[in-house]
Structures are given as structure tokens and as C-alpha cells.
Amino acid sequence: MTFNLLFGSIGVLVETSEIQRQSFNRALKMNGVTWNWNIGTYCNLLKNPGGKKRLIEYSKNQLSIEIAERIHRDKQSAFEELIGDGLEPRVGCLEALKKCKDHGGKVGFVTTTTPYTINIIKKSLSKYINFDDFDIITSCETVAQPKPSSEIYKYVLSELKINAEQTIAIEDTKVNQKAALDSGLDCYLFPGEYATFDYVDINDEKFISDGEMIPKLLLD
């Protein structure tokens, strides 16, 4: 049996949490917003996906959608400036990608972030990853409902014509993991450095503490 592999978020492939935090703070300052998100605050904000959604929820709806969108655009520009080409894939991802392709499996990058952000990541990781090796790459424009809706995963399974029973997903947050599980997938949690352990069960058999475990999940 061949296993297919779905990398579920940018945070699965690469660690960007601190750069994202700094980018948000730059964008907030540019727009005259006096918040400064420290690491603890940002860790809590990461429990829910979606940058614009985080801004509005943190403001207790005091920020308009228009202002939140402007801050988010400025945040993306700051992110691109800070990131350059200095990123490296997280441990285990390259090995898992190669193993899956070598064994004839399908590989997907199942994110619901913006195409702009995806292109930044692709450019920054181009020294390490040939993104043509992915059979599908999604974005927020692919489906109507973002995670934790399972719509994006159901779409990918259909487009790739693969069975959930022969596919493994890797996600970086419990919210995103729910999207995969609700589509019938076996999904492992590979949290980033800013994961808060009040919502991550390190004793869960689906918890990945070391990226070197990821290639071992695929059948030889």
C-alpha cells in the first residue's frame, strides 16, 4: 500500500512564528495601532488560524475589516522583507517528501493562506524544495471555507483522486488538525516552537515531537 502525504500548513514545512510576530508588530506600528504583541500574547493568538481574524478578535471587534485588511497587507510586506531567503525546512519534511515521491505517492501542500504568502515561502525555500514535486498546492482562494472546515481537505482528496485511508496529513495546530480529521484523514500534529501546551497533548499518539518521525510514518 502506498501512502500519500499532505503537508497541512506553512508551519508544518517551515518555522516562521517569530518572523510573523515581528511582521505583525511592524504593521501595527505603521498603521498607528499601539499594540505590541509579545511572545506570550502571540502564542495564544496562534490557537486560531487566520491573520485578519486574529486582528479583529484581539481588538474585540474595534478594528474594522478594512483596517484589519490594511494591517494584514502591511504585515505581508514586512514578512517578505524580514524573511529574505533565509528559511530552512523543518526537520523531516524533505526526507518525507522524497520518500513519498520515490514510492509513487501523491504529495499536497494543503494551506488556506494567501497566494502572496505562499509565493514568499516558495521563494525562500527554493534552495531546498522543488515545489513542482507537489501534486497540488492550495490557498485561501481554493475553497470558500477556511480551516477548521474540512472543505479544503475534501477538495484535495477529490482532485488527487486518492483515498483518505491511504493518506497521512501533518498539521501544526489542533484547529487545523480537526479539519483533516473531519475529512476522514489520519492526521498527526507537528506543532511549531510557539505552540502552547495547554491545547497540545504531548502524550497523544498523533503528536510528533521530532520531525525525524515523519518519514517513518510512510510505508516502505
Per residue in 182-218, pLDDT tens? 999 999 999 888 875 555 555 566 888 889 999 999 8
Domain count, the chain: 2
Q: How many CB atoms lie within 10 A of CB 141?
A: 9
Question: Residue 46 burial by CB count (10 A; 0-12/13-18/19+): exposed, middle or buried?
Answer: buried
Q: Is residue 26 located within the same domain as residue 77?
A: yes
Task: Tell whether 79 and 142 lie within a shared domain.
Answer: no
Same structural domain, 153 and 78: no
Mean pLDDT (the chain, rounded):
90
Q: Residue 201: which CATH number?
A: 3.40.50.1000
Looking at per-residue pLDDT, the higher value among 48 and 101 belongs to 101
* Same domain membership, residue 39 and residue 11: no
**Domain end marker among 49, 83, 117:** 83
Greater model confidence, 36 or 195: 36
pTM: 0.89
3-state SS record for 29-64: HHCCCCCCCCHHHHHHHCCCCCHHHHHHHHCCCCCC
Residues 103 and 61 in one domain: no
Report how far apart, in Å, the C-alpha atoms of 85 and of each of 61, 89, 118, 125, 126 are.
Answer: 35, 12, 14, 7, 8
pLDDT tens digits, residue range 109-164?
A: 999 999 999 999 999 999 999 999 999 999 999 999 989 999 999 999 999 999 99
Q: Are residues 169 and 199 in the same domain?
A: yes
Band of pLDDT at residue 174, cut at 50, 70 and 90:
confident
CATH of the domain at 73: 1.10.150.240
Higher pLDDT among residues 46 and 89, named by residue: 89
6-34 tens-digit pLDDT: 999 999 999 999 999 999 999 999 999 99
Q: What is the domain extent for residue 162?
A: 4-15+88-216
Tell which of 83, 104, 129 closes a domain: 83
Are 64 and 102 contained in the same domain?
Answer: no
Check residue 201 and give its pLDDT. 57
Burial, 121: exposed, middle or buried (Cβ in 10 Å; 0-12, 13-18, 19+)?
Answer: buried
pLDDT at 27: 96
Domain boundary at 39, 66, 83, which?
Answer: 83
